[in-house]
Structures are given as C-alpha cells and as structure tokens.
Amino acid sequence: MATYEPWSVVVVPFPFVDRRQTKRRPAVVLSPERFQAEHQCSVLAMITDARNPRWPSDVPIRDLTAAGLPLASVFRCKVFTLDSRLILSRIGTLSSTDRHAAGRALRTAIVR
C-alpha cells in the first residue's frame, strides 16, 4: 500500500460513500506515513475552489504550482479519515509558506 508524506496534495474520489458518480477532488495529507502504514487509512483535509463561500479558517494556497493545482484554491479545516486505497494519485505538495499557514489554521480547529 502506498503512503504519502504529510502535506502532500492528493486526489480522492468524492463523495466517499457508495454512489454511482464520484468527482475527483484534491486533499492534503495530514497523517504521518507510519500512521498510514499501520492503519491503512490517511487523515486528510479538504482543498476547495477559492470561489466557493469562505469559511473563517480558510487559507488561500499561494503556490499553486507546487501544490499541483490548476485553479485558485483554499486549504479548508474540514478534516476526514479515508481508506488509503481510495487515494488516486499525488499531484503535488504544499510549499513551506502554505504549510505554515495551513498549520496555523489547523491549530485553531483542533485541540492540542
């Protein structure tokens, strides 16, 4: 089973339930590779189109090229766990600047 470095941008099918149609959507890997290997699942956060209604904790992704994203996008603190076998591909990684901004947003959303 493949594992992905934290802050990798991956493509996942959405919705995650059994439906006829799915759309491919980007997400950010938050879990360490060891966790992924031991649990066969990954903790991910949503990436969404910057044109969607904003959440207060949304973080604009500045380096779209490094992230592998074709359109203006935001990191969203909508965190979920997904069976790692459902990850379709890795398309990029968040830049150092984007990682720091996303990490700050996550610290406002998750208990330490």
Residue 103: per-residue pLDDT: 98
Residue 50, class by beta-carbon neighbours within 10 Å (0-12 exposed, 13-18 middle, 19+ buried)?
A: middle
Residue 110, class by beta-carbon neighbours within 10 Å (0-12 exposed, 13-18 middle, 19+ buried)?
A: exposed
Place of tokens 């031991």: 38
Taking only the tens of pLDDT, the chain with its 112 residues reads: 899 999 999 999 986 566 677 889 999 999 999 999 999 999 999 999 999 999 999 999 999 999 999 999 999 999 999 999 999 999 999 999 999 999 999 999 998 7
Residue 82: per-residue pLDDT: 95
| Domains parsed from the chain with CATH numbers | 8-109 (2.30.30.110)
